[in-house]
Structure 1
Amino acid sequence: MSSRQVVKKIFANFENSNDGVIRQGITKIDPANVEISSSEMPVAYEEGVEVKVIAGVSMGVQSPFYTRIPMMFLDITLQPRSQTQQTIPESWTAFAYVLDGNEGVFGSSDSYAVQAHTLVVFGTGDEVSVWNTSNYRPLRFLLIAGEPIGESVVQHGPFVMNTQAEIDRTIWDYRNGQNGFEMAK
Protein backbone atom coordinates (compact mmCIF):
# COMPACT_ATOMS: atom_id res chain seq x y z
CA MET A 1 0.00 0.00 0.00
CA SER A 2 1.33 3.43 -0.94
CA SER A 3 2.24 5.94 1.75
CA ARG A 4 0.50 8.66 -0.28
CA GLN A 5 -3.22 9.24 -0.50
CA VAL A 6 -4.48 10.99 -3.60
CA VAL A 7 -7.72 12.86 -4.16
CA LYS A 8 -8.02 13.71 -7.85
CA LYS A 9 -10.47 16.61 -7.68
CA ILE A 10 -13.31 17.69 -5.43
CA PHE A 11 -15.48 20.68 -6.23
CA ALA A 12 -16.79 22.52 -3.21
CA ASN A 13 -18.82 25.70 -2.80
CA PHE A 14 -16.12 28.35 -2.45
CA GLU A 15 -18.39 31.35 -2.88
CA ASN A 16 -21.22 32.92 -0.93
CA SER A 17 -23.55 33.57 -3.87
CA ASN A 18 -26.85 31.77 -4.29
CA ASP A 19 -26.45 30.40 -7.71
CA GLY A 20 -25.43 25.04 -8.82
CA VAL A 21 -23.75 21.76 -7.04
CA ILE A 22 -20.80 23.61 -8.59
CA ARG A 23 -20.82 27.39 -8.14
CA GLN A 24 -20.66 29.57 -11.22
CA GLY A 25 -16.99 29.99 -12.10
CA ILE A 26 -15.65 27.47 -9.59
CA THR A 27 -14.93 24.95 -12.33
CA LYS A 28 -12.55 27.41 -13.97
CA ILE A 29 -10.31 28.28 -11.01
CA ASP A 30 -7.02 26.54 -10.44
CA PRO A 31 -7.27 23.76 -7.85
CA ALA A 32 -5.26 23.97 -4.66
CA ASN A 33 -3.06 20.97 -4.08
CA VAL A 34 -2.00 19.60 -0.72
CA GLU A 35 0.29 16.62 -0.33
CA ILE A 36 0.67 14.77 2.92
CA SER A 37 2.13 11.37 3.67
CA SER A 38 0.02 8.76 5.43
CA SER A 39 2.25 9.07 8.49
CA GLU A 40 1.38 12.79 8.76
CA MET A 41 -2.39 12.37 8.28
CA PRO A 42 -4.35 13.19 11.46
CA VAL A 43 -6.03 10.02 12.71
CA ALA A 44 -8.75 9.47 15.31
CA TYR A 45 -9.00 6.11 17.07
CA GLU A 46 -11.52 4.37 19.24
CA GLU A 47 -12.02 0.68 19.85
CA GLY A 48 -12.09 -1.06 16.46
CA VAL A 49 -12.33 2.22 14.52
CA GLU A 50 -9.69 4.27 12.69
CA VAL A 51 -10.63 7.59 11.06
CA LYS A 52 -8.20 9.47 8.82
CA VAL A 53 -9.42 13.07 9.02
CA ILE A 54 -8.73 14.55 5.57
CA ALA A 55 -11.10 17.51 6.04
CA GLY A 56 -13.34 18.47 8.93
CA VAL A 57 -13.37 16.85 12.35
CA SER A 58 -14.06 13.39 13.77
CA MET A 59 -13.88 12.11 17.35
CA GLY A 60 -12.27 15.39 18.43
CA VAL A 61 -9.50 15.25 15.81
CA GLN A 62 -9.41 18.25 13.44
CA SER A 63 -7.88 18.24 9.97
CA PRO A 64 -5.16 20.87 9.53
CA PHE A 65 -6.38 21.63 6.00
CA TYR A 66 -8.30 24.81 5.34
CA THR A 67 -11.35 24.61 3.09
CA ARG A 68 -13.13 27.79 2.06
CA ILE A 69 -16.41 26.28 3.08
CA PRO A 70 -16.91 23.74 5.87
CA MET A 71 -16.85 20.16 4.67
CA MET A 72 -16.09 16.68 5.95
CA PHE A 73 -13.89 14.10 4.20
CA LEU A 74 -13.14 11.04 6.30
CA ASP A 75 -11.42 7.73 5.46
CA ILE A 76 -12.89 5.28 7.98
CA THR A 77 -11.85 1.69 8.72
CA LEU A 78 -13.94 -0.52 11.01
CA GLN A 79 -12.44 -3.75 12.26
CA PRO A 80 -14.65 -6.88 12.21
CA ARG A 81 -17.67 -6.67 14.53
CA SER A 82 -17.16 -2.98 15.30
CA GLN A 83 -19.39 0.06 14.85
CA THR A 84 -19.20 3.84 14.81
CA GLN A 85 -21.36 6.96 14.63
CA GLN A 86 -20.48 10.27 12.98
CA THR A 87 -22.63 13.35 13.45
CA ILE A 88 -23.39 15.32 10.28
CA PRO A 89 -24.38 18.99 10.79
CA GLU A 90 -28.13 19.54 10.47
CA SER A 91 -28.16 21.36 7.11
CA TRP A 92 -25.53 19.15 5.41
CA THR A 93 -25.96 16.20 3.10
CA ALA A 94 -23.58 13.25 3.09
CA PHE A 95 -22.63 10.10 1.26
CA ALA A 96 -20.38 7.13 1.92
CA TYR A 97 -18.46 5.17 -0.68
CA VAL A 98 -17.45 1.66 0.38
CA LEU A 99 -13.87 0.91 -0.67
CA ASP A 100 -13.41 -2.51 0.89
CA GLY A 101 -15.53 -5.01 2.77
CA ASN A 102 -18.83 -6.72 2.01
CA GLU A 103 -20.73 -6.55 5.27
CA GLY A 104 -21.15 -2.86 6.04
CA VAL A 105 -24.54 -1.89 7.45
CA PHE A 106 -25.33 1.85 7.21
CA GLY A 107 -28.20 3.71 8.87
CA SER A 108 -29.81 1.28 11.28
CA SER A 109 -28.76 -2.15 12.48
CA ASP A 110 -31.68 -3.78 10.64
CA SER A 111 -30.64 -2.35 7.23
CA TYR A 112 -29.14 -4.69 4.67
CA ALA A 113 -25.38 -5.00 4.24
CA VAL A 114 -23.70 -3.25 1.32
CA GLN A 115 -20.66 -4.38 -0.63
CA ALA A 116 -17.48 -2.70 -1.80
CA HIS A 117 -17.91 -0.11 -4.59
CA THR A 118 -21.35 0.88 -3.33
CA LEU A 119 -22.42 4.50 -2.79
CA VAL A 120 -24.73 5.17 0.18
CA VAL A 121 -26.54 8.54 0.23
CA PHE A 122 -27.83 9.92 3.54
CA GLY A 123 -30.53 12.46 4.31
CA THR A 124 -29.91 15.97 5.60
CA GLY A 125 -28.24 16.18 9.00
CA ASP A 126 -28.25 12.48 9.76
CA GLU A 127 -26.10 10.91 12.38
CA VAL A 128 -24.38 8.28 10.28
CA SER A 129 -24.28 4.93 12.07
CA VAL A 130 -22.22 2.10 10.59
CA TRP A 131 -21.74 -1.52 11.62
CA ASN A 132 -19.19 -3.97 10.24
CA THR A 133 -21.01 -7.27 10.65
CA SER A 134 -18.13 -9.34 9.25
CA ASN A 135 -16.35 -11.72 11.60
CA TYR A 136 -13.12 -11.58 9.60
CA ARG A 137 -12.80 -8.65 7.20
CA PRO A 138 -12.34 -4.91 7.92
CA LEU A 139 -14.76 -2.42 6.35
CA ARG A 140 -13.25 0.71 4.77
CA PHE A 141 -15.28 3.61 3.38
CA LEU A 142 -15.07 7.31 2.61
CA LEU A 143 -17.58 9.60 4.31
CA ILE A 144 -18.00 12.96 2.57
CA ALA A 145 -20.40 15.70 3.68
CA GLY A 146 -21.08 19.37 3.11
CA GLU A 147 -23.66 22.09 2.72
CA PRO A 148 -25.91 21.53 -0.33
CA ILE A 149 -25.95 24.49 -2.71
CA GLY A 150 -28.91 23.57 -4.91
CA GLU A 151 -27.66 24.78 -8.28
CA SER A 152 -28.37 23.18 -11.62
CA VAL A 153 -25.79 20.70 -12.90
CA VAL A 154 -25.17 19.66 -16.49
CA GLN A 155 -22.68 16.86 -17.11
CA HIS A 156 -21.22 15.68 -20.41
CA GLY A 157 -18.43 13.09 -20.22
CA PRO A 158 -15.79 14.48 -17.85
CA PHE A 159 -17.19 18.02 -18.01
CA VAL A 160 -19.52 19.34 -15.30
CA MET A 161 -20.96 22.85 -15.54
CA ASN A 162 -24.17 24.70 -14.64
CA THR A 163 -25.78 25.12 -18.09
CA GLN A 164 -25.75 23.42 -21.48
CA ALA A 165 -24.25 26.59 -22.98
CA GLU A 166 -21.32 26.32 -20.55
CA ILE A 167 -20.85 22.65 -21.50
CA ASP A 168 -20.89 23.56 -25.20
CA ARG A 169 -18.30 26.30 -24.60
CA THR A 170 -16.10 23.96 -22.55
CA ILE A 171 -16.18 21.30 -25.28
CA TRP A 172 -15.28 23.96 -27.85
CA ASP A 173 -12.40 25.14 -25.62
CA TYR A 174 -11.20 21.55 -25.23
CA ARG A 175 -11.30 20.84 -28.96
CA ASN A 176 -9.47 24.11 -29.70
CA GLY A 177 -6.90 23.89 -26.89
CA GLN A 178 -8.02 27.08 -25.13
CA ASN A 179 -8.90 28.30 -21.62
CA GLY A 180 -6.86 25.74 -19.70
CA PHE A 181 -6.87 23.00 -22.33
CA GLU A 182 -3.68 24.16 -24.07
CA MET A 183 -1.84 20.96 -23.07
CA ALA A 184 -4.80 18.64 -23.79
CA LYS A 185 -3.68 17.61 -27.28
Structure 2
Amino acid sequence: MSKAEISSVLREPRFVVKKFQTRIQAEGVGAVVRRSIGRFELRHFDPFLVLDEFSVTAPGGFPDHPHTGFETVTYMLQGAMTHEDFAGHKGTIRTGGLQWMTAGRGIVHSEMPASQGTQKGLQLWINLSSKHKMIEPRYQELLSKDVAEVAKDGIKVRVIAGEALGTKSAIYTRTPTMYLDFTLKPGAHLQQPIPSLWNSFIYVLEGEGIFCKQESSPTKAHYILLLGFGDGVEAWNKSSKLLRFILVGGEPIGEPVVQYGPFVMNTQEEIDQTIDDYEYCINGFENAKH
Protein backbone atom coordinates (compact mmCIF):
# COMPACT_ATOMS: atom_id res chain seq x y z
CA MET A 1 0.00 0.00 0.00
CA SER A 2 1.43 3.39 -0.98
CA LYS A 3 1.62 6.40 1.34
CA ALA A 4 -1.14 8.08 -0.64
CA GLU A 5 -3.36 5.03 -0.29
CA ILE A 6 -2.73 4.80 3.46
CA SER A 7 -3.33 8.53 3.91
CA SER A 8 -6.69 8.20 2.20
CA VAL A 9 -7.57 5.32 4.54
CA LEU A 10 -6.84 7.31 7.71
CA ARG A 11 -9.74 9.72 7.42
CA GLU A 12 -10.37 9.43 11.16
CA PRO A 13 -7.06 8.87 12.99
CA ARG A 14 -7.27 7.47 16.49
CA PHE A 15 -6.29 9.46 19.57
CA VAL A 16 -4.86 8.38 22.91
CA VAL A 17 -7.63 8.16 25.51
CA LYS A 18 -5.56 6.75 28.38
CA LYS A 19 -1.85 6.43 29.08
CA PHE A 20 -0.08 4.91 32.05
CA GLN A 21 3.14 3.18 33.06
CA THR A 22 3.29 -0.54 33.74
CA ARG A 23 3.38 -1.82 37.30
CA ILE A 24 6.13 -4.26 38.37
CA GLN A 25 4.93 -7.28 40.32
CA ALA A 26 6.05 -10.81 41.18
CA GLU A 27 4.51 -13.75 39.33
CA GLY A 28 5.17 -17.48 39.22
CA VAL A 29 8.31 -18.46 41.13
CA GLY A 30 11.02 -15.80 41.13
CA ALA A 31 9.66 -14.11 37.99
CA VAL A 32 8.90 -10.43 37.56
CA VAL A 33 6.34 -8.93 35.19
CA ARG A 34 5.43 -5.42 34.12
CA ARG A 35 1.64 -5.62 33.96
CA SER A 36 -0.49 -3.14 32.05
CA ILE A 37 -3.80 -4.77 31.14
CA GLY A 38 -5.13 -6.91 33.98
CA ARG A 39 -4.38 -4.61 36.92
CA PHE A 40 -6.74 -2.50 39.00
CA GLU A 41 -6.58 0.54 36.66
CA LEU A 42 -7.55 -1.62 33.70
CA ARG A 43 -9.04 -4.98 34.55
CA HIS A 44 -9.94 -5.83 30.94
CA PHE A 45 -9.86 -4.15 27.54
CA ASP A 46 -12.24 -6.27 25.47
CA PRO A 47 -11.12 -8.71 24.07
CA PHE A 48 -7.81 -8.44 25.99
CA LEU A 49 -7.47 -9.75 29.54
CA VAL A 50 -3.78 -9.41 30.45
CA LEU A 51 -0.59 -7.96 28.98
CA ASP A 52 2.67 -8.78 30.79
CA GLU A 53 6.24 -7.97 29.88
CA PHE A 54 8.02 -10.74 31.79
CA SER A 55 11.58 -11.21 33.00
CA VAL A 56 12.78 -14.47 34.53
CA THR A 57 16.07 -16.19 35.34
CA ALA A 58 16.54 -19.86 36.25
CA PRO A 59 15.71 -21.50 38.59
CA GLY A 60 12.68 -19.18 38.58
CA GLY A 61 9.82 -19.54 36.15
CA PHE A 62 6.16 -20.43 35.85
CA PRO A 63 5.62 -23.99 37.16
CA ASP A 64 2.47 -26.03 36.49
CA HIS A 65 -0.63 -23.83 36.31
CA PRO A 66 -4.02 -24.08 34.54
CA HIS A 67 -5.84 -21.96 31.96
CA THR A 68 -9.43 -22.11 30.74
CA GLY A 69 -11.58 -20.00 28.40
CA PHE A 70 -9.04 -17.85 26.53
CA GLU A 71 -5.81 -17.80 24.51
CA THR A 72 -2.26 -16.91 25.53
CA VAL A 73 0.24 -15.40 23.09
CA THR A 74 3.87 -15.69 24.21
CA TYR A 75 6.35 -13.63 22.19
CA MET A 76 10.03 -13.90 23.12
CA LEU A 77 12.14 -10.74 23.14
CA GLN A 78 15.29 -12.26 24.62
CA GLY A 79 16.40 -15.78 25.54
CA ALA A 80 14.18 -18.86 25.47
CA MET A 81 11.38 -20.51 27.43
CA THR A 82 10.40 -24.18 27.38
CA HIS A 83 6.72 -25.03 27.52
CA GLU A 84 5.25 -28.41 28.50
CA ASP A 85 1.62 -29.35 29.12
CA PHE A 86 -0.26 -32.25 30.69
CA ALA A 87 -1.06 -33.75 27.28
CA GLY A 88 2.61 -34.21 26.40
CA HIS A 89 3.02 -31.20 24.14
CA LYS A 90 6.49 -29.69 24.62
CA GLY A 91 8.57 -27.07 22.84
CA THR A 92 10.94 -24.15 23.23
CA ILE A 93 10.15 -20.58 22.22
CA ARG A 94 13.33 -18.65 21.34
CA THR A 95 14.09 -14.99 20.69
CA GLY A 96 11.71 -13.64 18.06
CA GLY A 97 9.56 -16.76 18.10
CA LEU A 98 6.02 -17.08 19.38
CA GLN A 99 3.42 -19.47 20.66
CA TRP A 100 -0.31 -18.84 20.20
CA MET A 101 -1.99 -21.24 22.63
CA THR A 102 -5.74 -21.77 22.71
CA ALA A 103 -6.43 -23.07 26.20
CA GLY A 104 -10.11 -23.65 25.40
CA ARG A 105 -11.70 -26.08 27.84
CA GLY A 106 -8.52 -26.53 29.81
CA ILE A 107 -4.73 -26.78 29.86
CA VAL A 108 -2.26 -27.31 32.69
CA HIS A 109 1.24 -26.33 31.64
CA SER A 110 4.59 -24.94 32.76
CA GLU A 111 6.82 -22.25 31.24
CA MET A 112 10.44 -22.35 32.39
CA PRO A 113 13.75 -20.75 31.29
CA ALA A 114 15.62 -22.73 28.64
CA SER A 115 18.91 -20.83 28.57
CA GLN A 116 21.34 -18.96 30.79
CA GLY A 117 20.79 -15.36 31.82
CA THR A 118 17.54 -13.42 31.83
CA GLN A 119 14.67 -14.43 29.58
CA LYS A 120 12.35 -11.64 28.48
CA GLY A 121 9.13 -11.59 26.52
CA LEU A 122 5.52 -10.54 26.26
CA GLN A 123 2.47 -12.56 27.15
CA LEU A 124 -0.96 -11.41 26.00
CA TRP A 125 -4.21 -13.06 27.10
CA ILE A 126 -7.02 -12.84 24.54
CA ASN A 127 -10.57 -13.72 25.54
CA LEU A 128 -12.64 -16.26 23.63
CA SER A 129 -16.34 -15.91 22.90
CA SER A 130 -18.73 -18.23 24.70
CA LYS A 131 -19.00 -20.45 21.61
CA HIS A 132 -15.23 -21.04 21.65
CA LYS A 133 -14.49 -21.28 25.37
CA MET A 134 -14.88 -25.05 25.55
CA ILE A 135 -13.06 -26.07 22.37
CA GLU A 136 -10.16 -28.50 22.53
CA PRO A 137 -6.76 -26.92 23.30
CA ARG A 138 -4.66 -26.05 20.24
CA TYR A 139 -1.28 -24.52 19.44
CA GLN A 140 0.17 -22.35 16.72
CA GLU A 141 3.93 -21.92 16.97
CA LEU A 142 6.35 -19.96 14.80
CA LEU A 143 10.14 -19.77 14.86
CA SER A 144 11.58 -16.29 14.49
CA LYS A 145 12.51 -16.95 10.85
CA ASP A 146 8.90 -17.87 10.06
CA VAL A 147 7.32 -14.69 11.46
CA ALA A 148 6.26 -12.47 8.54
CA GLU A 149 8.50 -9.41 8.36
CA VAL A 150 8.83 -6.44 6.00
CA ALA A 151 10.80 -3.16 5.98
CA LYS A 152 9.97 0.03 4.09
CA ASP A 153 10.68 3.76 4.43
CA GLY A 154 12.55 3.40 7.73
CA ILE A 155 9.88 1.14 9.21
CA LYS A 156 10.25 -2.55 10.01
CA VAL A 157 7.30 -4.60 11.14
CA ARG A 158 7.00 -8.19 12.34
CA VAL A 159 3.44 -9.30 11.65
CA ILE A 160 2.46 -11.65 14.45
CA ALA A 161 -1.23 -11.46 13.60
CA GLY A 162 -3.15 -9.48 11.02
CA GLU A 163 -1.61 -7.40 8.24
CA ALA A 164 0.79 -4.45 7.86
CA LEU A 165 2.66 -2.91 4.93
CA GLY A 166 1.02 -5.41 2.60
CA THR A 167 2.27 -8.44 4.56
CA LYS A 168 -0.01 -10.93 6.33
CA SER A 169 0.57 -13.29 9.23
CA ALA A 170 0.06 -17.03 8.99
CA ILE A 171 -1.60 -17.10 12.44
CA TYR A 172 -5.32 -17.86 12.61
CA THR A 173 -7.19 -15.80 15.22
CA ARG A 174 -10.51 -17.08 16.59
CA THR A 175 -11.06 -13.69 18.15
CA PRO A 176 -10.18 -11.35 15.25
CA THR A 177 -6.86 -9.79 16.30
CA MET A 178 -3.93 -7.78 14.95
CA TYR A 179 -0.55 -7.93 16.70
CA LEU A 180 2.26 -5.92 15.10
CA ASP A 181 5.85 -5.38 16.29
CA PHE A 182 7.12 -2.10 14.79
CA THR A 183 10.64 -0.66 14.76
CA LEU A 184 10.98 2.90 13.44
CA LYS A 185 14.30 4.46 12.51
CA PRO A 186 14.93 8.11 13.48
CA GLY A 187 12.74 10.36 11.34
CA ALA A 188 10.31 7.60 10.32
CA HIS A 189 6.56 8.21 10.18
CA LEU A 190 4.01 5.39 10.35
CA GLN A 191 0.35 5.31 9.32
CA GLN A 192 -1.29 1.97 10.11
CA PRO A 193 -4.96 1.17 9.40
CA ILE A 194 -7.02 -0.48 12.15
CA PRO A 195 -10.57 -1.82 11.73
CA SER A 196 -12.72 1.06 12.93
CA LEU A 197 -14.76 -0.84 15.53
CA TRP A 198 -11.84 -2.67 17.14
CA ASN A 199 -10.26 -1.79 20.47
CA SER A 200 -6.52 -1.13 20.18
CA PHE A 201 -3.47 -0.16 22.19
CA ILE A 202 0.24 0.61 21.85
CA TYR A 203 2.91 -0.69 24.21
CA VAL A 204 6.38 0.87 23.91
CA LEU A 205 9.31 -1.54 24.22
CA GLU A 206 12.30 0.75 23.64
CA GLY A 207 13.14 4.29 22.64
CA GLU A 208 10.51 7.00 22.66
CA GLY A 209 7.85 7.94 20.15
CA ILE A 210 5.10 10.38 19.40
CA PHE A 211 1.71 8.84 18.77
CA CYS A 212 -1.55 10.04 17.20
CA LYS A 213 -0.75 13.78 17.17
CA GLN A 214 2.55 15.40 16.19
CA GLU A 215 2.31 17.86 19.06
CA SER A 216 1.93 15.07 21.66
CA SER A 217 4.62 14.56 24.29
CA PRO A 218 6.99 11.63 23.60
CA THR A 219 6.10 8.29 25.20
CA LYS A 220 8.93 6.15 26.61
CA ALA A 221 9.35 2.42 27.18
CA HIS A 222 7.02 0.50 29.48
CA TYR A 223 4.05 2.78 28.85
CA ILE A 224 0.74 1.60 27.41
CA LEU A 225 -1.52 3.87 25.37
CA LEU A 226 -5.17 2.98 24.89
CA LEU A 227 -6.51 4.31 21.61
CA GLY A 228 -9.96 5.69 20.90
CA PHE A 229 -12.03 4.78 17.85
CA GLY A 230 -11.01 5.63 14.30
CA ASP A 231 -9.68 3.90 11.22
CA GLY A 232 -5.96 3.99 11.96
CA VAL A 233 -3.06 5.29 14.01
CA GLU A 234 -0.01 7.46 13.31
CA ALA A 235 3.43 7.33 14.95
CA TRP A 236 6.59 9.40 14.59
CA ASN A 237 10.16 8.77 15.73
CA LYS A 238 11.63 12.23 16.24
CA SER A 239 14.47 10.97 18.42
CA SER A 240 18.00 9.92 17.47
CA LYS A 241 17.47 6.28 18.53
CA LEU A 242 15.35 3.39 17.34
CA LEU A 243 11.74 3.28 18.47
CA ARG A 244 10.16 -0.14 19.03
CA PHE A 245 6.55 -0.75 20.05
CA ILE A 246 3.75 -3.23 19.58
CA LEU A 247 0.36 -2.25 18.17
CA VAL A 248 -2.42 -4.62 19.14
CA GLY A 249 -6.07 -4.49 18.15
CA GLY A 250 -9.01 -6.82 18.49
CA GLU A 251 -12.71 -7.08 17.79
CA PRO A 252 -14.65 -6.66 21.07
CA ILE A 253 -16.60 -9.76 22.07
CA GLY A 254 -19.19 -7.83 24.09
CA GLU A 255 -19.96 -10.64 26.53
CA PRO A 256 -19.80 -10.69 30.34
CA VAL A 257 -16.35 -11.52 31.74
CA VAL A 258 -16.06 -13.41 35.01
CA GLN A 259 -12.46 -14.16 35.91
CA TYR A 260 -11.00 -16.22 38.71
CA GLY A 261 -7.23 -16.10 38.22
CA PRO A 262 -6.45 -18.29 35.19
CA PHE A 263 -10.11 -19.22 34.58
CA VAL A 264 -12.20 -16.86 32.41
CA MET A 265 -15.85 -17.60 31.71
CA ASN A 266 -19.14 -15.69 31.26
CA THR A 267 -20.89 -16.41 34.58
CA GLN A 268 -19.99 -17.20 38.18
CA GLU A 269 -21.73 -20.56 37.82
CA GLU A 270 -19.40 -21.44 34.95
CA ILE A 271 -16.39 -20.40 37.05
CA ASP A 272 -17.58 -22.58 39.94
CA GLN A 273 -17.96 -25.52 37.55
CA THR A 274 -14.49 -24.92 36.08
CA ILE A 275 -12.92 -24.91 39.56
CA ASP A 276 -14.68 -28.20 40.33
CA ASP A 277 -13.54 -29.66 36.99
CA TYR A 278 -9.94 -28.73 37.79
CA GLU A 279 -10.04 -30.01 41.37
CA TYR A 280 -11.68 -33.30 40.41
CA CYS A 281 -9.76 -33.73 37.10
CA ILE A 282 -12.84 -33.99 34.87
CA ASN A 283 -14.36 -32.28 31.81
CA GLY A 284 -11.07 -31.55 30.07
CA PHE A 285 -8.74 -31.74 33.08
CA GLU A 286 -8.46 -35.54 33.19
CA ASN A 287 -4.71 -35.40 32.59
CA ALA A 288 -4.19 -32.99 35.49
CA LYS A 289 -4.10 -35.94 37.90
CA HIS A 290 -0.80 -37.03 36.34
Instruction: Please give the TM-score of this superposition, normalised by the length of structure 1.
Output: 0.79
C-alpha separation between the residues in 2 aligned to 1:162 and 1:168? 11
Partner of 2:264: 160
Partner of 2:64: none
Q: 1:67 to 1:157 in 2, by over 3 A?
A: closer
Per-residue CA shift, 1:45-104, capped at 9, x if unaligned?
Answer: 112211111222111112233335643221111223423111112222212222x21412
Paired letter, 2:256: S
Q: Does residue 1:141 correspond to 2:223, yes or no? A: no
Q: Does residue 1:6 correspond to 2:98, yes or no? A: yes
Paired letter, 2:97: Q
CA shift, 1:8, in A, is: 5.1
Alignment RMSD (CA, Å): 2.5
Given that 2:98 and 2:144 are in contact with CA atoms closer than 8 Å, whether structure 1 keeps it comes out as no
Q: 1:104 to 1:10 in 2, by over 3 A?
A: farther
Per-residue CA shift, 1:97-123, capped at 9, x if unaligned?
Answer: 22x214122221222333323222212
C-alpha separation between the residues in 1 aligned to 2:215 and 2:99? 33
Given that 1:87 and 1:128 are in contact with CA atoms closer than 8 Å, whether structure 2 keeps it comes out as yes
Q: Per residue, is there more strand in 1 or in 2? A: 2
Given that 2:102 and 2:139 are in contact with CA atoms closer than 8 Å, whether structure 1 keeps it comes out as no
C-alpha separation between the residues in 2 aligned to 1:77 and 1:30? 36
Larger mean CA deviation between 112-121 and 36-45 belongs to 112-121
Residue 171 (structure 2) aligned to one of 65, 70, 76? 65
Given that 1:41 and 1:52 are in contact with CA atoms closer than 8 Å, whether structure 2 keeps it comes out as yes
The 5-angstrom pairing of residues 5-24 of structure 1 reads 5-7=97-99, 9=101, 22-24=128-130
Instruction: Please give the TM-score of this superposition, normalised by the length of structure 2.
Output: 0.53
In the alignment of these two chains, the number of paired residues is 174
C-alpha separation between the residues in 1 aligned to 2:233 and 2:137? 29
Give the % identical residues. Answer: 44
**Unpaired segments of 5 or more residues in structure 2?**
1-77, 79-93, 104-126
C-alpha separation between the residues in 1 aligned to 2:283 and 2:157? 39
Classify the secondary structure of the residue corresponding to 1:129.
Answer: strand
Paired letter, 1:67: T
C-alpha separation between the residues in 2 aligned to 1:81 and 1:10? 39
